[in-house]
Amino acid sequence: MTPEQFLTQVKKSKPAPVYLFIGPEIHQRDKCRAALLEQVLGPKVNGEREGYFTCDLEETPLASICDDARAYSLFSTRRVFWISRAEAVLPRGRAVAAAAAAAADDDGEDGGGKKAAGGAAADALSQYLKSPSTDTVLVFDSAKFEFDGDDKAKTERLRKFFAAVPQTVDFPRWTPAMTRKLAQDLAKETALRIGPEELNLLVEAVGNSPARVAVEMEKLALYTGGTRPVTVADIASLVPQAQAATIFALVAALGRRERQKALDLLDILVREGEYLPLALSFLATQFRQALVSQEAGLRGASSIQGHFSKLGVGMWPSRAEQISQTMTAFTPVQLKKALSRIAYADKALRDIRPDDRTVLEDFVLELTR
């Protein structure tokens, strides 16, 4: 089940007695939790919701949580148990191999597989699901594992343990395009004036996190008051980790040979205390990747992203677009000259000199002639 399907179900019908929330995405998970609490427990009273209980499977056995859910409260006729770190029910280390061996030896006999997978915890959950408490909802929440890569097997084991749970809601990590679309929608809702380049910078600065995008967009709306457009300087001032993203904006400005903008971005980096040799290393990476893309005959951001992904180099669409813009702005000869200037600037930064900023300003002036 997707988060959208869950939200629709909760609004139109009675919630299921038990859910499994699985996946690392936070923004939609918070929306689903808020909708569930509103539907089951109603609005807050004096800032609190009566009947909302939080548990942690790292600290509380699953059997104890099921017992608490069976015991009706004198004060709360409707209850929601939010049970975090649901992955704690899985065996760890050598216990994983032992559980697999026990399951194989059991050869499918009734109850044996469950005991191998989780013993008493699996039995407690199975017994509760046979007769769940009225007006009580249990949500087992696991945000630790991804759906692919090294975590895929762990995710499948978690699904197998909770296979008896009637409803599972998946929260996969968002793609950059999805996060950017959310940022665009939030900008419209808050009447925030932010350009495409600043929007890309913001998405990169928050590491493609939709939850952080929502928070930072609200901060920017309050900061600008809707009276002026959001600038790169605003993002650098308000958004944590924005300095690294500002370096990418500097690379993009150099790629388009926008001298004044590049100097302005360099000024932001200096005022924010950025380590300029690190900025230069980012620049070197940008120009090297642009040169590789030209020599490979690539055209367009999608082909660039696909090419580097095959080489094992992860790349966001906005980053691939920056490389594409750099390829358009510079010929192969000019890219090689830029790399030569980077090597010269790198040597100058290591030498006795009056100022790192002077070295980088000279570099910007050379590349934007």
pLDDT tens string, the chain, 369 residues long: the values are 899 999 999 888 889 999 999 998 888 899 999 999 999 888 877 777 788 999 998 888 898 999 988 887 777 788 999 999 898 888 765 444 454 555 455 544 444 444 443 577 788 888 899 899 888 999 999 988 888 877 888 899 999 999 889 899 999 888 777 888 888 888 888 888 888 878 877 887 776 778 888 888 888 888 888 788 888 778 777 776 555 566 767 777 776 778 888 888 888 777 766 667 777 887 888 888 989 999 999 988 888 988 888 888 777 676 787 788 788 878 888 888 888 988 888 888 877 666 778 888 888 888 787
- Looking at residue 260, what is its pLDDT? 87
32 phi/psi in degrees, rounded to 5: -65, -40
At how many degrees (to 10) do helices 259-271 and 242-255 cross?
A: 160
CB neighbours (10 Å) of residue 353? 10
State the Cα–Cα distance between residues 181 and 316, nearest whole angstrom. 14
- Looking at residue 243, what is its pLDDT? 56
> Which amino acid, residue 256?
R
209 phi/psi in degrees, rounded to 5: -95, 115
- Looking at residue 240, what is its pLDDT? 60
Residue 45 per-residue DSSP state: B
* Paired strand residues for 142: 22
Of 170, 191, 213, which residue sits at a domain end?
Answer: 170
Residue 89 per-residue DSSP state: G
- Based on the domain organization, do 218 and 166 belong to the same domain? no
- Based on the domain organization, do 162 and 203 belong to the same domain? no
User: What is the pTM assigned to this prediction?
Assistant: 0.59
- Looking at residue 110, what is its pLDDT? 45
State the Cα–Cα distance between residues 132 and 194, nearest whole angstrom. 50
- Based on the domain organization, do 202 and 142 belong to the same domain? no
- Looking at residue 118, what is its pLDDT? 53
Determine contact, residues 298/307, Cβ cutoff 8 Å.
Answer: yes
> Could you list the residue range(s) of the whole structural domain that residue 152 is in?
3-170
- Based on the domain organization, do 23 and 152 belong to the same domain? yes
State the Cα–Cα distance between residues 54 and 162, nearest whole angstrom. 19
- Looking at residue 272, what is its pLDDT? 63
The angle at the Cα of 229, spanning 226 to 233, to the nearest 5 degrees, equals 115
State the Cα–Cα distance between residues 149 and 145, nearest whole angstrom. 10
- CATH code for position 283: 1.20.272.10
> Which amino acid, residue 217?
M
- Based on the domain organization, do 217 and 136 belong to the same domain? no
Number of domains observed in the structure of the chain = 3
- Based on the domain organization, do 256 and 319 belong to the same domain? yes
- Based on the domain organization, do 28 and 55 belong to the same domain? yes
- CATH code for position 84: 3.40.50.300
- Based on the domain organization, do 261 and 130 belong to the same domain? no
- Based on the domain organization, do 17 and 101 belong to the same domain? yes
- CATH code for position 189: 1.10.8.60
Pairing, β 136-142 against β 18-22: parallel
Of 240, 268, 291, which residue sits at a domain end?
Answer: 240
- Based on the domain organization, do 348 and 280 belong to the same domain? yes
CB neighbours (10 Å) of residue 297? 8
- Based on the domain organization, do 332 and 276 belong to the same domain? yes
- Based on the domain organization, do 82 and 132 belong to the same domain? yes
> Which amino acid, residue 174?
W
Residue 141's SS3 state is strand
Of 170, 191, 214, which residue sits at a domain end?
Answer: 170
State the Cα–Cα distance between residues 221 and 224, nearest whole angstrom. 5
Residue in this structure with the two tokens 């209850």, named with its chain if needed: 79
